Amino acid sequence: MPEISSSKPYRIGRSKTGLGLFATQKIKKGTKIIRYFGPLLDSKNKKHDDIDNKYLFEINNRWTIDGSTRKNIARYVNHACRPNAESDVNSRKRKVIIRAIKTIQPGEEINYDYGTDYFKIFLKPIGCKCDHCEKKRAKKRAEERAEKRRLKLKAEKKAAKKASKKAEKDARKAGKAKAAPTKANKRNPLGTAKANAHARGTGKPTRTKASRTKPLARVQPKNASKNASKNPAKSATRAKRAS
């Protein structure tokens, strides 16, 4: 790891993606932080065209900086989708400067946007680990967990409602079965009386009002009242015989 002068407002430190560059003092917005440098590669040179690494910084269609050398401390500045710095490219001088686009506090990591091409080739396949993307993923995971809990609670409520309806239905069926008369009672209304009698141990059904008969009225002979007025003794004898 290269040494950095104490007068510089940054240091190399451990980051989420490996090593990163961190501010050691307050860096104001617009301040030139560090230069990105290395050998210049010419796209017209076949040997240069064969060089490939993740520290290549393209200035224009012809010139590219190979920043893989360890002396290039700017190579430790990581990518961020919501950066606090930017790359200021001077195509004529073939120079790149990392400049602060907002005030950077001591201890804060310095970062800039590497661009769409670099993101698609190197970062998208493994997932960007900048703070912005980490927060987005954390928020998405929290929303997914909340949605799972919501669906689980909904399913539980639905199951409880279904069970409650089933219990009510079973209770209604049980009530109807208890209230309905048996087939034997439908055929013979006295079946209930017989059952009660057997339950009491008498073996005989109790007599209902419908089964009781009234005593027959005694028939008096014709002209009984007339004869009784004429001859009371004969009338009494005839009444006895009739009875």
- Give domain status of residue 204, yes or no: no
For residue 199, what pLDDT band results from cuts at 50, 70 and 90?
A: low
| The dihedral sign for the CA sequence 182, 184, 190, 193 | negative
Q: What is the pLDDT of residue 33?
A: 97
Q: What is the pLDDT of residue 159?
A: 92
Q: Domain limits at 123?
A: 10-127
Q: What is the pLDDT of residue 88?
A: 95
How far is residue 45's CA from residue 62's CA, in Å, rounded to a whole number?
10
Does residue 202 surpass a pLDDT of 60? no
Does residue 122 surpass a pLDDT of 60? yes
Do 134 and 122 lie in a common domain? Answer: no
3-state DSSP call for residue 154?
Answer: helix
**CB of 35 closer than 8 Å to CB of 72:** no
How far is residue 54's CA from residue 56's CA, in Å, rounded to a whole number?
6
Do 134 and 188 lie in a common domain? Answer: yes
> Degrees (nearest 5) of the Cα angle 74, 3, 88?
15
- Give domain status of residue 226, yes or no: no
3-state DSSP call for residue 1?
Answer: coil
Task: Name residues whose C-beta falls within 8 Å of residue 129's C-beta, 6 or more positions apart in sequence.
Answer: 16, 17
Q: What is the pLDDT of residue 75?
A: 95
The Cα-based distances of 54 to 51, 65, 67, 110, 114 in angstroms read 10, 11, 9, 18, 11
- pLDDT tens per residue, range 144-174: 999 999 999 999 999 998 898 888 888 888 8
Q: What is the pLDDT of residue 57?
A: 94
Type of residue found at 26: K
Does residue 182 surpass a pLDDT of 50? yes
- pLDDT tens per residue, range 45-102: 888 888 888 899 999 999 999 999 999 999 999 999 999 999 999 999 999 999 999 9
Do 172 and 189 lie in a common domain? Answer: yes
- Give domain status of residue 212, yes or no: no
Do 187 and 113 lie in a common domain? Answer: no
The tally of domains found in the chain comes to 2
CATH code: domain of residue 62: 2.170.270.10
- Give domain status of residue 137, yes or no: yes
Compute, in degrees rounded to 10, the torsion defined by CA atoms 188, 194, 196, 200. 180
Does residue 218 surpass a pLDDT of 90? no
How far is residue 74's CA from residue 68's CA, in Å, rounded to a whole number?
10
How far is residue 34's CA from residue 73's CA, in Å, rounded to a whole number?
8
- Give domain status of residue 138, yes or no: yes
- pLDDT tens per residue, range 7-50: 899 999 999 888 999 999 999 999 999 999 999 999 888 888 88
**CB of 103 closer than 8 Å to CB of 21:** no
How far is residue 67's CA from residue 99's CA, in Å, rounded to a whole number?
17
Q: What is the pLDDT of residue 216?
A: 52
